[in-house]
Structures are given as C-alpha cells and as structure tokens.
Amino acid sequence: MNHPSRVLLNRTLFLICSCSLVSTAFAAAPLPRHHRSRHYVSARSRKEAQLQSMEKQLSQLEVDVQKMKKELQTEQETSQKIKTRQEEREKSVASRFKTYGSAVVIAPYTGRPTYSTGSQVLVNSPSINEDLKLLERRKVEQEALKKAGEKVPNHPRLVMSGKLSGEFSYSRPYKGARSTDIDLSGAELDTFAEISPLVNGFMAFTYDNNPNDVFSNRRIGNSNVYLDKGFIVIGDVKRSPFYGTVGQMYVPFGRYSTMMISSPLTKYIGKTKARTILVGFAPARSFSPYARAFVFKGDTKYGNSSLAKQFGGDAGISYIKKKFNTDVGVSYISNMADSVGMQDTGAPSGFQGFDKSNREDLVHGVNGIDLHAVVGYGPWSLIAEYLSALQQFSKTDLSFNSHGAEPSAMNVEGDYSFHLFRIPSSVALSYAFTNQALGLYLPKQRYTAGLLLNILQNATLTFEYRHDINYGRSNTAMVNHGATLAYVPSELGRSDDMISTELSVYF
C-alpha cells in the first residue's frame, strides 16, 4: 500500500507535467488566419480557464504535501516519545531490581510498575493466593535482571513494602442520629524474605483500628500492632508449576475482589484466615488450569476437636491474551463457621460471632461452596461471585426464621478505567445480596458506587457511596436454642447510607 505523502507527490508531479505540456502546446500553437473567429476565442478561453484550474489544484496539492509532511513529522516524534518512555520504564524496572544486591531493600513491585497506581505494589497483592503472587514476583524480578545484563544475587534478601490509609465518612444508620468520622483506616508493613531460590518467607504486620472492648470510646488507646499473616512458601514457578505453603494466611476459598472501599458481602460469609498447610499447581502459561488444596485446624469445634480436620480446595482456569483476560473457578471448604465474618459479626449487641460470643462449640460443621469469575477486556472488567452454605446450621448454633440458617451471598461488580483530566481513574458499580444471613449482621441488599483517582504515583483517592437495605420486619435470627437474639429488631425493615473518602499511599 502506498504512503499518503507518496500518493500526493505523484499527483503533484502529474499535474506539473500536465500544466507544462498544456502551457507549451498553447504557447507554441500557431494562430491560423482562418481561425480568427469567435469559436477560436471561445476555445482559447476554455484552455486558459483549464490552465488556471490546474494551477490552483497544483497550489492546493503543494499545501497538502506540506501539511502531510508536518503530520508525518509529528507522528514520528510521537512514536519516538512513546519508544523513549517505554525504554525508560524498562530501565526503571531493571534499576529497581538491581537494588536487590542489598540485604534489606524497599523494592515493592510485584511486576512492572505503572504510573500513578498501587495495583502492582507488594502490599497490595491479593490476600487470596498471596503465596503464588509472591512466587510470580520472583520470576518477574529474575527476568528483569537478566534483561538488564545483571546476575541474580545468591544471598538472602528482605523486601519491604507498606501502606497507610486515612478515611473520612458520613453515615445515616438504620436507626439513630447521623454521624461523621475521621479514621486511620489502615496501616500495614509487609516483609518478603527471599531466602534461597526455592524458599521464601512472608510476614505482614498491621494495626487494629477498632475501639477497645472494655473502653469502647478509646479507639486511639487500642491501636495494637499484630502479626496478620506469616507463612513459608516453597517453589519456583520457572522450574515447576507445583508449590507448597505452611503458616498463617487466608486459605484459597473464594476471591472477594473489589475496587470499592467497602468489602463485598461474600467476604463476611466465606473469607477464612487459618494456620494451614497448602499445596498448589499453577502453570505459568497464558491458558492455565490451576488447583489448590489445604488443611487446617479451625477455631470452631465439633466431634473430635483435637484433630486438624478442616479442609478445602480451589480449582479453575485462567486465560490471558492481549487485551482479554478471564479467571473462572470454584472453591470448597468443609466448615464456613471459621470465616472472619462468622467469628466476629461486628454486631453491637446480642450474638456477635462464634468467637466474640464464645460459642465455638458447634453441633456440626457447615461446608460451603464458592463460584467466582473475572472477565476483563481493555479498560472494562466484570467481577461476579456467589457463595453459599451447602447445609443448614443447627438451630442451636444459628437459626433463621425458626429453622437452621443456610447463609449465602452474591456480589456483581463492573469496573471501567479511563483518564480524567489526564489522571488515571476507575469507576465502579456493584450490587450484592444475602440470604438467611440476618444473624451475621449483614444487610439483605447493597448498592455501591465508587470512583478511584490515581492522583500521584502510588497514591490513590477513592470516593464511595453505599446504600444498604436490611431484612424485613417479619424475619428472625437466634442462637443458643432461641435464648439469644442474633439481630437488632429495631433495625429491621430499614435502610442506611454511607459516603466515604479514602486516601491511600503505598511504598
């Protein structure tokens, strides 16, 4: 295919030649005496008009050629700028990983760093399958060093990362007066130890921003720092798709992905932290089936409580090709009662969770299933997750409307990334609902809208509006053979609203 500028030049040369031939022919042609008529004058006028028209076209083509040359020059300059920026980013990645020659470094990235976003920061690794994400990070590190012509150091290294989050919120609760709050909503320090080519360790320290149990108004006085996660992971995804993990972590049951400040309702029913042993299979390919299995000793007890008999697994398929990516899977767990939201519901009174209310002894365990899918194309992404108990709790442990509760939840979220006044941004909408989860202090329905602005490198500002609709007035939830309420009756049939703004920085 001919380039546009070449086509214009060819047309220009053709017109120049044509004009030259016409002019020459017109000037050299003799004027016969017998053609001194009106007809001859008319023919001469037509030729003069044709010549003038062609000269105008030639002038316009010369202007178009100059314009096209300028456009081509601009395109070349833009292309060079993009290439230069790409080279600078590659050098930035290599330079960051070159610092790994030190024993202790702050080199937080799990992959190629992107402008003004914390999504690739070590501290923001997904809490589910975090061990695998860290192994993939080492793979990216080694590839970056080799590309830069550097050797991978063979001594242990400690990589550090962290985050701080401040939040302002306005709320109109189910009942009572409206309120506002300012809080340090998050503070975390992560350490990733690269001990040897196959052995790694991870620790995450965070602080408790909840009020003290005894002095409920002394929130600052509480602020305890504690070990949130700590585990050893053995594996090398470049050599083998198999890996193993032991320690305290979130087991791979569910996903709970969201862009919002508020956690999805599925998290409160299913997300489980435990001291576990895990084995996994995850090939490093664009189209990859994966599988994980885990076993742990839960806090809730039934049958022979001396045995580590809680178990589960996760399996699915992930696919990545250019702008398109998807991950579809299913998870299973033998007892949902050990989930974070069932151990501590956050209720102000009555049943506050199996751990909080000291009711860890159950009649029987309740197994659960989770179906999750993420589909992304370019700036668009869709997240869907459904989680449910596969059997009812005993009426003694947790009931709903006079029978054993069988809680479930679903969350659907759509995200779109774009630039707002040159600021990388994302907008999200989500809808969630629960069923038979009144005793877990969860709403019946939730609508959420969020806007995330990457205002500076590794600094995000998020705005969120959340609307909850509670269960109806005819519903009940009880524990302890119906002797203890597991809900607040005055909040039934009502709704609440919350507007939140969160500023987060990552390093």
Structural tokens at position 346: 């956050």
Q: Check whether residue 112 and residue 176 sit in a common domain.
A: yes
Output the CA torsion sign for 99, 102, 106, 112.
positive
Is the pLDDT at 123 greater than 70? The verdict is no
Residue 486 burial (CB count, 10 A): 25
Q: Check whether residue 217 and residue 325 sit in a common domain.
A: yes
Structural tokens at position 205: 């320290």
Coil, strand or helix: which one is 150?
A: coil
Is the pLDDT at 25 greater than 50? The verdict is no
Q: Check whether residue 70 and residue 127 sit in a common domain.
A: no
3-state secondary structure 236-289: CCCCCCEEEEEEEEECCCCCCCCCCCCCCHHHHHHCCEEEEEEEEECCCCCEEE
Coil, strand or helix: which one is 299?
A: coil
Contact 326, 376 (CB under 8 A): yes
Is the pLDDT at 444 greater than 60? The verdict is yes
pLDDT of 87 reads 64
Q: Check whether residue 305 and residue 435 sit in a common domain.
A: yes
Which of 147-151, 231-235, 237-241: highest mean pLDDT?
Answer: 231-235
Question: Is residue 226, in this structure, part of any structural domain at all?
Answer: yes
Q: 219 vs 375, which has greater pLDDT?
A: 375
Question: Is residue 107, in this structure, part of any structural domain at all?
Answer: yes
Predicted confidence band at 11 (pLDDT cuts at 50, 70, 90)? low
Tokens 């199996």 sit on residue? 354
Is the pLDDT at 280 greater than 50? The verdict is yes
The distance of Cα 28 from the centroid of its chain, to the nearest Å, equals 78
Q: Parallel, antiparallel, or unpaired: how do β-strands 157-172 and 104-105 relate?
A: parallel
Question: Is residue 8, in this structure, part of any structural domain at all?
Answer: yes
Predicted confidence band at 277 (pLDDT cuts at 50, 70, 90)? very high
Return d(Cα 279, Cα 252) in angstroms, integer. 11
Cβ contacts of residue 322 below 8 Å, gap of 6+?
none
3-state secondary structure 390-440: CCCCCCCCCEECCEECCCEEEEEEEEEEEEECCEEEEEEEEEEEEECCHHH
Q: Check whether residue 451 and residue 326 sit in a common domain.
A: yes
Return d(Cα 138, Cα 233) in angstroms, integer. 12
Is the pLDDT at 321 greater than 60? The verdict is yes
Q: Check whether residue 151 and residue 243 sit in a common domain.
A: yes
pLDDT of 262 reads 94
Q: 428 vs 215, which has greater pLDDT?
A: 428
Q: 189 vs 286, which has greater pLDDT?
A: 189
- Domain end residue (candidates: 82, 110, 145): 82
Q: Which domain holds residue 394?
A: 102-506
Q: What average pLDDT does the segment 495-502 reach?
A: 98
Is the pLDDT at 122 greater than 70? The verdict is no
Question: Is residue 181, in this structure, part of any structural domain at all?
Answer: yes
Q: Total domain count for the chain?
A: 2
Q: Check whether residue 69 and residue 135 sit in a common domain.
A: no
pLDDT digits (tens, 9 = 90+) for 353-392: 999 888 889 999 999 999 999 999 999 999 999 999 999 9
Return d(Cα 241, Cα 233) in angstroms, integer. 13
Q: Check whether residue 283 and residue 392 sit in a common domain.
A: yes
Is the pLDDT at 198 greater than 50? The verdict is yes
Is the pLDDT at 92 greater than 70? The verdict is no
Coil, strand or helix: which one is 375?
A: strand
What DSSP element (H or E) covers 317? strand 310-321
Among candidates 115, 110, 114, which has minimal Cα distance to 125? 110
Question: Is residue 110, in this structure, part of any structural domain at all?
Answer: yes
Is the pLDDT at 203 greater than 80? The verdict is yes
pLDDT of 222 reads 73
Question: Is residue 88, in this structure, part of any structural domain at all?
Answer: no
Question: Is residue 113, in this structure, part of any structural domain at all?
Answer: yes
Return d(Cα 155, Cα 159) in angstroms, integer. 13
Q: What percent of the chain has pLDDT above 70?
A: 82
Is the pLDDT at 30 greater than 80? The verdict is no
Q: In what order do the strands lie in the sheet containing 403-404?
A: 403-404, 399-400, 477-479, 484-485
Residue 95 Cα distances to 3, 107, 158, 469, angstroms? 40, 10, 17, 51
In our burial notation (b when 16+ CB lie closer than 10 A, e otherwise), range 125-158 reads bebbbbbbbbbbbbebbbebbeeeeeeeeeeebb
pLDDT of 127 reads 84
Predicted confidence band at 100 (pLDDT cuts at 50, 70, 90)? very low
Determine the straight-line distance between the first and last CA of the chain, rounded to whole angstroms.
50
Average pLDDT, rounded, for the chain? 84
Radius of gyration of the chain (CA): 34
Return d(Cα 312, Cα 334) in angstroms, integer. 6
Q: What percent of the chain has pLDDT above 90?
A: 56
Return d(Cα 57, Cα 11) in angstroms, integer. 10
Q: Check whether residue 71 and residue 192 sit in a common domain.
A: no
Helix axes 130-147, 38-98, angle to 10 degrees: 110
pLDDT of 110 reads 47
Question: Is residue 87, in this structure, part of any structural domain at all?
Answer: no
pLDDT of 140 reads 82
Among the ranges given (133-142, 143-152, 213-222, 471-480), the one the predictor scored with the smallest mean pLDDT: 213-222
Return d(Cα 398, Cα 350) in angstroms, integer. 12
Phi, psi of 425 (to 5 degrees): -140, 165
Among candidates 261, 301, 206, 312, which has minimal Cα distance to 450? 261
Structural tokens at position 349: 């009174």
Q: Check whether residue 78 and residue 166 sit in a common domain.
A: no
What DSSP element (H or E) covers 12? helix 4-28
Predicted confidence band at 436 (pLDDT cuts at 50, 70, 90)? very high
Structural tokens at position 156: 């242990």
Coil, strand or helix: which one is 503?
A: strand
CATH classification of the domain holding 135: 2.40.160.10
Q: Check whether residue 71 and residue 166 sit in a common domain.
A: no
Q: Check whether residue 77 and residue 111 sit in a common domain.
A: no
By the 10 Å C-beta count (0-12 exposed, 13-18 middle, 19+ buried), 408 is classed as: buried
Is the pLDDT at 28 greater than 60? The verdict is no
What DSSP element (H or E) covers 368? strand 368-377
Contact 334, 303 (CB under 8 A): no
Is the pLDDT at 67 greater than 90? The verdict is no
Q: What average pLDDT does the segment 61-82 reach?
A: 80
Tokens 């042993």 sit on residue? 277
Among the ranges given (4-8, 252-256, 456-460), the one the predictor scored with the smallest mean pLDDT: 4-8
Tokens 């109806």 sit on residue? 472
